[in-house]
Chain A
Amino acid sequence: EVQLVESGGGLVQPGGSLRLSCAASGFTFSSYSMNWVRQAPGKGLEWVSYISSSSSTIYYADSVKGRFTISRDNAKNSLYLQMNSLRDEDTAVYYCARVRLKIAAIDYWGQGTLVTVSS
């Protein structure tokens, strides 16, 4: 069974940093591209970042470019999101999501971890 479990969320002050982790199991993690997608309270889904299976290709949404860094450790079956210079508008549930490139869709999602940026 495919499982994606996020951790690392919490309360952080504006300007602060946080590192999210996603532990993957039930599939060959090193063969799949991954995304981070977020959802602000009461709002819609916003794609945040993409990383290819080998980490050779990385993309960011304009809203986080220069502040967030996506990475992965295939030996540990883990995906990460380093978030720096956090702003109030980064408050959201952050989802780790598996990309199935063959169908160009996100086929599995984690349960999400809440990041709250507030003083």
Chain B
Amino acid sequence: DIQMTQSPSSLSASVGDRVTITCRASQSISSYLNWYQQKPGKAPKLLIYAASSLQSGVPSRFSGSGSGTDFTLTISSLQPEDFATYYCQQSYSTRIFTFGPGTKVDIK
């Protein structure tokens, strides 16, 4: 089974900061990597699919990169509404969607 790890597990940042979250797969998953944002008490929301494609309606300050085993989610200028938990998810095993453990972004 493919295992996903994320780092850091949490971070504190200020509005306007550039934030980078890393996700690593236990084996190559090509570009089959998605990113989700979840706010407390809410369902997750798809931000990025196929490692670097922005989901419709998602602000352009969010971007994704990487392929193989190492991936990155970047928020270019953190906004107040971006404080949330972010999850990566592999879809290389097409019908088995393994999630990473999450990265909580909170206010410094």
Q: Secondary structure of the A side of the interface?
A: strand
Within 8 A of A (CB), among B50-100: 50, 53, 55, 87, 89, 91, 94-100
Task: Please tell me if the beta carbons of A110 and B43 are within 8 angstroms of each other in the complex.
Answer: yes
Candidates B46, B89, B97; contact of A107 at CB < 8 Å: B46
B48 to chain A, nearest CB (A): 9
Q: Which of A44, A50, A95, A112 contacts B87 (CB 8 A)?
A: A44
Residue pair A59, B44 in contact (C-beta under 8 Å): no
CA distance A99 to B89 in the complex (A): 13
Q: How many residues of B contact A (CB 8 A)?
A: 24
Q: What is the predominant secondary structure among interface residues of chain B facing chain A? A: loop
Bound CA–CA A35/B46 (angstroms): 15
Asked if B101 and A104 make an inter-chain contact with CB atoms under 8 angstroms apart, the answer reads no
Is A105 engaged at the interface, CB distance under 8 Å to the other chain? yes
26 sampled A-B residue pairs with Cβ under 8 A:
A35-B97, A45-B38, A45-B44, A45-B89, A45-B102, A47-B98, A50-B96, A59-B95, A61-B96, A95-B44, A101-B94, A104-B50, A104-B94, A105-B46, A105-B49, A105-B50, A105-B55, A105-B91, A106-B36, A106-B89, A106-B97, A107-B46, A109-B44, A109-B45, A110-B43, A111-B43
Residues of A at the B interface (CB closer than 8 Å) are: 33, 35, 37, 44-47, 50, 52, 57, 59, 61, 95, 99, 101, 103-107, 109-112
In the A-B complex, list the 3 residue pairs whose CB atoms are closest, starting with the nearest: A104-B91, A109-B43, A105-B49
Given contacts A33-B95, A35-B97, 15 further A-B contacts (CB under 8 A): A44-B87, A44-B101, A44-B102, A45-B99, A45-B102, A50-B97, A103-B50, A105-B46, A105-B49, A106-B34, A106-B46, A107-B46, A109-B44, A109-B45, A111-B43
